[in-house]
Amino acid sequence: MTLTDILVPTYVQMLKALSGWLGKAQAQLPDGAAEALLSARLAPDMFPLSTQIRFACVQAQEGVFRLKGEAFPASMDVLLDEGRNAGGHPGSIADAQARIAETISLVESAAAEAFDEDPERAIAHSLPMGMVFDLTAEQYARDWALPQFYFHLMIAYAILRGGGVELGKADYVAHMFAYLRPGTMPSSGHNPR
């Protein structure tokens, strides 16, 4: 299995799940309440939902382009700026859905060319505060790219769930239903949370 085989489907299926969660928020909550959740935070010192969504998109784009050894697309700067300023300008659910769709499209088109010729290729990953991590491409994918992506994704899930959106494990792993053996779906409406 290659890094492309691991990262691209993971990014795509989980971004689609995130889009579905936002759709449920709009369908389940009274007028304006879903939009208001974009400013909600899990804790006072954390970024709001709108930032978590954008940063999940940033992480997916960054992972793909860093592993391809290519310059980051301009869309990453847009997402970063929107995310950093989301406390005062959260945007709308439609804006968030558009960013998710753009990221899915970008990740899928990037997957047309495998980006993992050498999982041992050295990657120097710099953070804005000056820290630098020296990793192989495999270590970067496993120890940074996926955990960072899931961090923002799960904070978004927690904010939505805490804001009254009825989400459960089935919403988190919706992609698994493609593998469901026929005739094994419980009929009782069992939805583990």
Quote the percentage of the chain above a pLDDT of 90: 64
Q: What is the pLDDT of residue 190?
A: 57
The Cα 38–Cα 47 span in angstroms is 10
The residue among 82, 75, 134, 135 whose CA lies nearest residue 104 is 75
Model pLDDT for residues 127-139, shown as the tens digit of each residue: 888 899 999 999 9
Burial (CB count within 10 angstroms: exposed 0-12, middle 13-18, buried 19+), residue 167: buried
Mean pLDDT of the 65-86 span:
88
- Within the chain, strands assigned E span 122-126, 132-136
Provide the whole-model pTM.
0.91
The Cα 41–Cα 159 span in angstroms is 6
Q: What is the pLDDT of residue 129?
A: 84
Q: Domains for the chain: give ranges and CATH numbers.
A: 3-179 (1.20.120.450)
Residue 65 confidence (pLDDT) above 80:
yes
The Cα 64–Cα 107 span in angstroms is 7
Q: Which residues have C-beta within 8 Å of that of residue 10, sequence separation ≥ 6?
A: 146, 149
